[in-house]
Structure 1
Amino acid sequence: MEEGESCSARRELTALVVDDQEVLRRIHGRLLKDVGVSHVEAARNGKEAIDIHRGGQSFDLILMDLDMPVMNGIQATRGLRAMGVRSKIAGVSARNEGEGVKEFQEAGLDLLFPKPLTTLHLSSLVTQIKPL
């Protein structure tokens, strides 16, 4: 590692962005790459996230939206944890309080961030991740 190179840039981290809004999937994917995540994939809802994992893929980090059609973030997080997924799961929500948020956290989240995500949020998060 060269002097000045960040710790997160040398690790080969992978991430899955789960959000029903295409613009946010793209923005969050770009931000993740900007903070050193080498491989980013996306899913449009919680069911797709679970299907991706059933297909054998795994990720160091999952950014999970709370409110999505088909399967929301609470259901998907519970499902992933029940499957034994050990990835760091960071919830992302425009809501910052209420029963849904509490239930989301109790489903197995490691962290919860408000929308919109920032480079500062993700940079802090990425430095905490140990590759699987």
Structure 2
Amino acid sequence: MYSRNCLKATKELRAMGICSTIVGVSSRSMEDEILKFMEAGLDEYQEKPLNNAILSSILGKITPTV
């Protein structure tokens, strides 16, 4: 299976004009690394591990209110 890193994939998606919300999840928590993710075009970043409360919070931010 073809694999690429988050930064490259996000930049490529944005360059193709993709405007969908991109949420990055990583074990990296260094402030400069998070900044690189956000500069690449992520809309939201969350450090691992995820739990139900965190996932619900993220989905609440990106899901339209009905």
Q: Which of these residues, 35, 52, 55, is aligned with residue 102 of structure 1?
A: 35
Q: Which has the larger radius of gyration?
A: 1
Q: Which runs of 5+ in 2 are unaligned?
A: none
Change (3 A) 1:82 1:127: same
1:97 aligned partner, one-letter code: M
Whether 1:128 aligns to 2:64 is no
Q: Percent identity?
A: 43
Higher RCO by CA contacts (8 Å cutoff, separation 6 or greater): 2
Q: Which runs of 5+ in 1 are unaligned?
A: 1-43, 48-69
TM-score normalised to the size of structure 2? 0.79
TM-score normalised to the size of structure 1? 0.43
User: Which whole-Å deviations, capped at 9, do the CAs of 1:50-99 have from their partners, x for residues lacking one?
Assistant: xxxxxxxxxxxxxxxxxxxx410000000111111111111111111154
More helix by share: 2
Q: Which of these residues, 8, 22, 25, is aligned with residue 89 of structure 1?
A: 22
1:103 aligned partner, one-letter code: K
Q: How far is the alpha carbon of 1:101 from its aligned partner?
A: 2.6
Whether 1:76 aligns to 2:6 is no
2:43 aligned partner, one-letter code: D
User: What is the number of equivalent residue pairs in this alignment?
Assistant: 63
**Structure 1 segment 45-56 matched on structure 2, within 5 A:** none
User: Which whole-Å deviations, capped at 9, do the CAs of 1:11-57 have from their partners, x for residues lacking one?
Assistant: xxxxxxxxxxxxxxxxxxxxxxxxxxxxxxxxx7xx6xxxxxxxxxx
